[in-house]
Structure 1
C-alpha cells in the first residue's frame, strides 16, 4: 500500500520521517510530499504539485493540521483510495465556510496568532509538549512555516466520496479536540479515532499512528 503524507502549516516533510520509516518497515511505501513553492498557488495548483511528486496509483493520503484544507483536492488529483485526517481541519462541505470563517471555533484561543517557527519555546508549548527530550530536538528541527492565503480563505467544495478516517489527539493545544470529534461525525459521517497525544502524534506517538494507518488501510 502507498501512503502519501502531507505536512501541515508549521512543519516540513521531515516531520513525517518516523511514521514513514515504520510504514516502510511494515512493507508499505511512504511518500512525504513537499507543498512549499516559490509562489502561492490556488488549491488545484497545490494538488497538482503533490501529484508531480508521486508516481504510484491510488494511495492513502494522510494530511496533518491546516493541510486538511487541501486534502480533498490532493486526494482527487491522486485518485486516492482513502483519506486520513490527523489533527487536521475538516472543511465545512455543507456550509461553504472557510477556515478563516471558522477559526474561533476550530482553534484553541491561545494558539491564534502564534508563530512557533519564530519561538522554540512556543513550539514546545503548543506543538511538542508531549514529546520526550529525544524526540523534541528533531521535532524542533522540522519547523517550517507554510501558510499561503488559500489555506485560510478557500471555501469548502464537495465532500470527498472515498472513505475517511479522522484521528483526534486528545491533548491537542492548537486544534480543539471537541471540534474535531464533532466535525468528523457531522461532516464526514465517521466516528473519530482518539489518540493520547498532542497536535503532532506523528512525532510523539509514531508507532501508534502508524498502526492506525496500516490497520485502516
Structure 2
C-alpha cells in the first residue's frame, strides 16, 4: 500500500482530487489531499510544503503528486520527508532560484499560448474557464469546482525564488494532458524535456484531468496495478 499525497493547484482545494482519491482508496491505498493555506499574502512556498508535511503525519510509502502550481510545492515535500516517487500532473516544473512569477516568461509561456490559440480559434488561453479549464468536465462538477476557488497562492509565495538547488533525487514522472488549453501540450513537452529530462506520460484530457478522467488518472498514478 502507498500513501498518495495529492497537492492541488492555484486557487483550488483538496476537493479537486476527490474522485481520484476514491479510485485510489478502492485500490487499497491511503490518500492525503489537504487544503493548502489561503487568504494570507505572507505565506511562502515553504509554508505550503510544511502544511502538506503536517497533513501527512507519520504515514510512509509516500507518492507525492503535484498538479499545476502544486508542482512548486511537491518537490519541497520530498526534501522534508522520505518519498518513493514524485508525479507532476500538468505541472509547472520549477527551476532552482526561479519564482513562480518568473516561470511564465522564462519558459516562453505567452508565445506558446499565442501559437496554440492560432490553431484552435482562441480556445487556448480563453478567459472563459469552461473553455480553457473545464471543457471536458460535466457542467455541474465544473460549477462546483469554481465555487470552491480561493486566494491561493499568496503574493509572497508567487514572488519567492524556488529554494532548492536541484531537483530532489527521487524517481519522477510527468503526466501531460494532450487537450490542455491552459498549458499547451507541445510547450509542456519541451519544458519537461529541458527541466526534468523525462518523457511525459500522456492522457487525452483538459487541465482539470482529476475531474474529467479520474479513473484513467488513478490508473496512471498507480501504474495500472492494484498492489502498487
TM-score by length of 2: 0.82
Deviates more, 1:149-158 or 1:40-49: 149-158
2:170 maps to 1:162: yes
Which structure's CA Rg is the greater one? 2
- Take 1:20 and 1:65, find their aligned partners in 2: how far apart are those partners? 17
Q: After the TM superposition, which residues 69-84 of structure 1 pair with which residues of structure 2 at under 5 Å, given as runs?
A: 69-84=72-87
Q: TM-score if structure 1 supplies the norm length?
A: 0.85
1:57 aligned to 57, 60, 64, which one?
Answer: 60
Q: Distance in 1 between matches of 2:219 and 2:29?
A: 12
Corresponding residue number in structure 2 for 1:148: 154
Contact 2:43 2:157 in 1 (8 A): no
Q: Corresponding residue for 1:117?
A: none
Counterpart for residue 178 of structure 1 = 186
Does the CA contact (< 8 Å) of 1:167 and 1:195 recur in 2? yes
Contact 1:135–1:204 (CA under 8 A) maintained in structure 2? no
Aligned to 2:220: 212
Residues 38 and 77 from structure 1, CA distance in 2 versus in 1: closer, same or farther, beyond 3 angstroms?
farther
Partner Cα distance (1:173, 1:18) in 2:
22
Label 1:111 to 1:98 Cα distance change in 2 as closer, same or farther (>3 A).
Answer: farther
| Number of residue pairs aligned between Structure 1 and Structure 2 | 207
- Distance across 1 between alignment mates of 2:89 and 2:186: 14
Structure 1 residues 124 and 52: alpha-carbon distance in aligned structure 2, compared to 1, 3 A threshold: same
- How many Å apart are 1:57 and its aligned residue? 1.8
Match in the other structure for 1:124: 130
Equivalent residue in structure 1 for 2:93, among 90, 110, 125: 90
- Quote the RMSD (CA, aligned, Å): 2.2
Please report how far the alpha carbon of residue 134 of structure 1 lies from its aligned counterpart in structure 2 after TM superposition.
5.2
Where do 5+ consecutive residues of structure 1 fail to align? 115-121
